[in-house]
Amino acid sequence: MSRRVLFVLLIFAVSGLAQEGHPLTGTWTGDWGVGNGPRTHLTFVMSWDGDDKITGVINPGPDSMAMQNIVVNFANWTVRIDAEAKDAAGKAVRVQAEGKLENMGSPRRQLAGAWRQGGVTGDFKVTRAQ
pLDDT the model gives residue 22? 80
Question: Does residue 72 sit within a domain?
Answer: yes
d(CA 129, CA 108): 6
pTM over 0.95: no
Look at the chain and report how many structural domains it folds into: 1
Query: CB–CB of 77/100 below 8 Å?
Result: yes
d(CA 87, CA 91): 5
Length of the chain: 130
Question: Does residue 12 sit within a domain?
Answer: no
Question: Does residue 10 sit within a domain?
Answer: no
Question: Does residue 8 sit within a domain?
Answer: no
- Residue 102's domain comprises 22-128
Element (H or E) spanning 125, and its range?
A: strand 120-128
- Give pLDDT tens digits along the chain (130 positions): 566 644 444 444 443 344 456 889 999 999 999 999 999 999 999 998 887 789 999 999 988 999 999 999 989 999 999 999 988 898 999 999 999 999 988 889 999 999 999 999 999 999 999 7
User: Which parts of 1-119 are beta strand (E)?
Assistant: 26-33, 39-48, 54-58, 65-73, 78-86, 92-102, 110-117
pLDDT the model gives residue 9? 45
Question: Does residue 4 sit within a domain?
Answer: no
d(CA 93, CA 21): 32
Question: Does residue 120 sit within a domain?
Answer: yes
